Amino acid sequence: MYTQSMSVPDDSASRSVQPLVSAEPAERMARFDACIDADGRIEPQDWMPEAYRKTLVRQISQHAHSEIVGMLPEGNWIGRAPSLKRKAILIAKVQDEGGHGLYLYSAAETLGTSRDQMVQALHEGKAKYSSIFNYPTLTWADVGVIGWLVDGAAIMNQIPLCRCSYGPYARAMVRVCKEESFHQRQGYESLMVMMRGTQAQRDMVQDAVNRWWWKCLAMFGPPDADSPNSVQGMRWGIKRVSNDELRQQFVDATVPQAKLLGVSLPDPLLKWNEARGHHDYGPIDWDEFWHTVNGNGPCNKERLATRVKAHEDGAWVREAALAHARKRQQAALKEAA
């Protein structure tokens, strides 16, 4: 997962377009532009404008943070999964998210920012991550709904990133998308089983869908008209499809899935529009979105505190690994002497 906040500046107080002023040598700039125009890939050793580099570091690190923080709401249910099978699936899924975070930190490091710097920015509350993880997982059905809808929205967002102009990010996304597909399917299948169960189980699924639906629509980020940074992202081949287009694709794909599952989506204005060839849907509460992005959602503080504690608790592992590496290096040097 998870990309909503990637179109959101880390300092979301200033959401304006930064004019791209470039004092870069014209020749290198022309080569860069030609590569982008030809739909080529920019690699770590290639020259790139500083604004392109900064945008990528921000986007990829926010994405990495989202994967890592995204482990928490579902990780909360590993000890309470209803069967050994569900527990094994959930452990695998949460572990995948950890892996996604690591690929993405590595991809961002190729741009010259260290993982320590990125993690520090997260822990100091300076870096954003997807706001969807600032909501609690109240019942077991939330785990299935996160797989179906949250991972489903993430896939919509991330498939175009496999064609991103920055090579390491694009390649990381190919593997991530394959794993996200498993996440979406396991969530949907788990909900299918619940919907064939008791009335109480069906009610639990419907309640979870009601709580997550609008938050998933907001995951695609602000409407295109309010996303001035997206234009530059599109120009650079970082962003391929606009927020509103992705949101529409998600709604259109999800409506038949909800029908098959036997749940309703909590939007009285949701209906097929023959003329547009798409579903119409009701207005999204952007005030709530920004409230949560800016740190005031129900779980923001808890999520960050959990991450900071995990990092501090793991300090001895990092120190021991470094000490071991040093010892091996010294031994190798001694042998070589």
Contacting positions for Fe ion (CB under 5 A): 1, 67, 97, 100, 151, 180, 183
How far apart (Å, rounded) are the C-alpha atoms in residues 222 and 286? Answer: 8
Q: Residue 285 CB, nearest distance to Fe ion (Å)? A: 25
Q: Which CB sits closer to Fe ion, 48 or 153?
A: 153
Q: Which CB sits closer to Fe ion, 109 or 180?
A: 180
Q: Which CB sits closer to Fe ion, 66 or 229?
A: 66
Q: Residue 158 CB, nearest distance to Fe ion (Å)? A: 8
Q: Which of 173, 151, 179 is nearest to 161 (CA)?
A: 173
Q: Which CB sits closer to Fe ion, 162 or 270?
A: 162
Q: Residue 101 CB, nearest distance to Fe ion (Å)? A: 8
Strand partners of residue 279: 272
How far apart (Å, rounded) are the C-alpha atoms in residues 254 and 234? Answer: 26
Instruction: Report yes or no: 104 and 172 within 8 Å, Cβ to Cβ.
Output: yes
How far apart (Å, rounded) are the C-alpha atoms in residues 285 and 299? Answer: 18
Q: Residue 119 CB, nearest distance to Fe ion (Å)? A: 17
CA distances from 200 to 87, 140, 208, 262, 266 (A): 21, 12, 12, 14, 19
Q: Residue 75 CB, nearest distance to Fe ion (Å)? A: 12
Q: Which CB sits closer to Fe ion, 36 or 144?
A: 144
Q: Residue 108 CB, nearest distance to Fe ion (Å)? A: 15
Dihedral (CA of 175, 180, 183, 189) sign: negative
Instruction: Report yes or no: 96 and 48 within 8 Å, Cβ to Cβ.
Output: no
Q: Which CB sits closer to Fe ion, 55 or 186?
A: 186
Q: Which CB sits closer to Fe ion, 100 or 239?
A: 100
The dihedral region occupied by 241, where left means phi > 0, alpha psi between -120 and 50, and beta the remainder, is: beta
Instruction: Report yes or no: 165 and 42 within 8 Å, Cβ to Cβ.
Output: yes
Q: Residue 327 CB, nearest distance to Fe ion (Å)? A: 35
How far apart (Å, rounded) are the C-alpha atoms in residues 100 and 162? Answer: 14
